[in-house]
Chain A
């Protein structure tokens, strides 16, 4: 007897009881659907985390100065400018794993344009910063190295600031804006970058040369009172760069002067690549957990199939008896019921995939995620549901094939 024929007989038997067959499949449908949806949601969320960390810039490390402790009150990291300009220059020149480095000094300031004002994050840096963050301009130019060193009163604005002061889409290049009552010329507008993974609006900023920032905003202090943003030369390099920077700064700050009593770091280095992968890992853990729970529901669906198959075998005992009498072998009967279970499980699996993909695309659409369906997951889930069908179909099918034809024919 051919497999095709067995399949037809099985399909026919299932179609004779459409409602029951559908209800039996429901467990598998829901199980497969949730596994697919969970995997897709997980992949989408992971991709979104990755993308939002990517907006911070590739392979970045952030160095902040040490904490101050005066009269017992301990300030946070960066409250004391322990990282100096000399440190910064050495980082730029003497650390092989560092591609670029830029200072970033920040303060809040109010910008006043013709009719509007807006308080934003005013930041002083060097042109390298824009390269570190791969931050392009939507119009105008950024300040060059000479302007950065010479204290030019120029400013590059983020999209949000432009929107608040002149309206969305305005091009204020060449206009004047007052920051702390000092007139600055707007020379460029940055491209829209969006939100940081923690919800900060990157586009709500005004960037000026670091020398100008120190002279006009920070009130004449020449301390590097802020961050040093460092770009490592490759993604594997962030760990290496972190170690090299740590050892350089400890050396320059004489923290290991007394080997018997090394002092703790008076600076902090944050590795954004590691933060991104930790974040992505957290997302994976949760979605794997959800997918595992969905997998359990597939098992429950399998038990449902077994249950109905057992009912079906006992209902169709007479039919089995007759099939045996007219020449079916026990193997024929075994296959017939096994294929029925397999068919229930795999048709359920395919419907479940449709449902899962549908749910995933709706959710992806709703949350603005990319829709990522991993073909491996789909193939895996189909195989798994087929295996569930075989495992849970085997017992009822064996039971059917072991029936005694005489007893089976006599049963009511």
Chain B
């Protein structure tokens, strides 16, 4: 086991995460992650699969600095983040990571461009630059003409594109997508995957959690989780998603 600064963008070393069942027997612990060691390099497109309860969501939360490991260490780009406090983790999430969620998580009654600006607000970016960067991010996801639309005026696919624009607006190293196509139909899902692949080609590392094997086909590497452990870690030829059909 090496303690020197490891290579790789995201490096987990012997990471475990245990919970006590709330209100249950305090001696009984749930082992959501058991001694996971993992290295993800810059530019990789990784899919994490597994049944529910396999620990894939916990792994995603740890990778996203939303949760802290109970044991082991976690480096992002050479920085040990396993012992950072809440405010420092917030800064990592803001600067280095971008999130895409299954249920989009856009602010209601707030325009697309304002939704995309949100990470920049917490990043302390001045207003003029914020607007310019948010507009540019929305152009990149093909929504340059929907800047002032509110989430309820957009289709699910468009909402997820706004969410992706929000994830990339602060130029993160990594996009973490938790079931990004879970609420979308097949055609729309394909469009979202094509967009993620396109971002991947620009050098952004993409980690996505999915339970759909056909979605995992678009990844270059597939991790299968079971009982809190990585059971298989296979590299594959990335299937190319077709160019998104106009919605």
- Seen from chain A, the residues whose Cβ lies within 8 Å of a Cβ on chain B are 1, 5, 9, 16, 318-319, 321-332, 405-406, 409
Q: For chain B, residues 59 to 112, give those with C-beta under 8 angstroms from any C-beta of chain A.
A: 61, 64, 66-67, 86-87, 90-91, 93-95, 99, 101, 105, 107, 109
- Rounded to whole Å, the gap between the CB of A125 and the closest CB of chain B is 80
The complex places the Cα of A318 from the Cα of B103 at a distance, in Å, of 11
Q: Which residues of chain B are within 8 angstroms of A406 by Cβ–Cβ distance? A: 61, 66-67
- Please state if B124 and A326 are interface contacts (CB–CB under 8 Å): no
Q: Which residues of chain A are within 8 angstroms of B124 by Cβ–Cβ distance? A: 1
- Please state if B119 and A326 are interface contacts (CB–CB under 8 Å): yes
Query: Beyond A1-B122, A322-B107, A323-B122, is A329–B64 a contact (Cβ under 8 Å)?
Result: no
The complex places the Cα of A318 from the Cα of B95 at a distance, in Å, of 21
The complex places the Cα of A101 from the Cα of B153 at a distance, in Å, of 90
7 contacts between A and B (CB under 8 A): A322-B105, A325-B66, A325-B93, A326-B119, A327-B119, A327-B122, A409-B105
- Please state if A329 and B90 are interface contacts (CB–CB under 8 Å): yes
Query: Beyond A1-B121, A330-B87, is A325–B107 a contact (Cβ under 8 Å)?
Result: no
The complex places the Cα of A201 from the Cα of B163 at a distance, in Å, of 82
Who on chain B is nearest to A16 by CB?
Answer: B109
A328: which of B64, B90, B101 is its contact (CB, 8 Å)? B90
A327: which of B61, B94, B107 is its contact (CB, 8 Å)? B94
Query: Beyond A326-B118, A327-B94, is A319–B86 a contact (Cβ under 8 Å)?
Result: no
- Please state if A324 and B90 are interface contacts (CB–CB under 8 Å): yes
Q: Which residues of chain A are within 8 angstroms of B121 by Cβ–Cβ distance? A: 1, 5, 9
- Please state if B166 and A409 are interface contacts (CB–CB under 8 Å): no
- Please state if A328 and B66 are interface contacts (CB–CB under 8 Å): no
- Please state if A332 and B122 are interface contacts (CB–CB under 8 Å): yes
Task: Specify the main secondary structure of chain A where it touches its partner.
Answer: helix
| 8 residue pairs, one from A and one from B, having the closest CB atoms | A327-B94, A327-B122, A326-B119, A329-B90, A329-B87, A322-B105, A405-B66, A328-B122
Q: How large is the interface on B (under 10, 10 to 19, 20 to 34, 35 or more residues)?
A: 20 to 34
A331: which of B66, B67, B87, B166 is its contact (CB, 8 Å)? B87
Extra contacts, 14 of them, besides A325-B93, A329-B91, A330-B86 (Cβ < 8 A), are A1-B121, A9-B121, A322-B105, A322-B107, A324-B66, A325-B64, A325-B99, A326-B119, A326-B122, A327-B90, A327-B95, A327-B170, A329-B87, A409-B66
- Rounded to whole Å, the gap between the CB of B167 and the closest CB of chain A is 8
- Flag whether B244 is at the interface (Cβ < 8 A): no
- Flag whether B203 is at the interface (Cβ < 8 A): no
- Flag whether B123 is at the interface (Cβ < 8 A): yes
Q: Which residues of chain B are within 8 angstroms of A321 by Cβ–Cβ distance? A: 105
Q: Which residues of chain A are within 8 angstroms of B67 by Cβ–Cβ distance? A: 406
The complex places the Cα of A324 from the Cα of B64 at a distance, in Å, of 11
Q: Which residues of chain A are within 8 angstroms of B95 by Cβ–Cβ distance? A: 327
Q: Which residues of chain B are within 8 angstroms of A327 by Cβ–Cβ distance? A: 90-91, 93-95, 119, 122-123, 170
The complex places the Cα of A318 from the Cα of B67 at a distance, in Å, of 17
The complex places the Cα of A80 from the Cα of B156 at a distance, in Å, of 103
- Please state if B107 and A329 are interface contacts (CB–CB under 8 Å): no
